[in-house]
Amino acid sequence: MVLALTHVDQLSAHITRIVHDYTDQSPLTLAEVVQGDRIHLKVTAVAPMPEVLPCLVADARTQLRAAP
């Protein structure tokens, strides 16, 4: 059990670094849309999430389920 939780802790740290790096690159492109006296923000593009991220999250979840 200790090994599984240690592995999950390492995965969590890795996931956190990946998400931080992803959000640091400004993954959303926004545009201001003026309608009368209001201004709305419109999301015009979203950068794809790193492909490894879902795999790491799935691995962490599997390890947590396997731990007694």
**pLDDT number for residue 68:** 72
Which pTM was predicted?
A: 0.74
**Per-residue DSSP letters for the chain?**
-HHHHHHHHHHHHHHHHHHHHHHHT--EEEEEEEETTEEEEEEEEEPPPPTHHHHHHHHHHHHHHH--
Q: How many CA atoms lie within 13 A of 12 on its CB side?
A: 10
Residue-level pLDDT at 14: 96
- On average, the pLDDT of the chain sits at 93
Confidence of residue 4 (pLDDT cuts 50, 70, 90): confident
* Containing structural domain, residue 19: 2-66
pLDDT at residue 1 greater than cutoff 80: no
Span 43-61, pLDDT tens digits: 999 999 999 999 999 999 9
Q: Tell me how many domains the chain contains.
A: 1
Rounded Cα–Cα distance for residues 55 and 67 (Å): 18
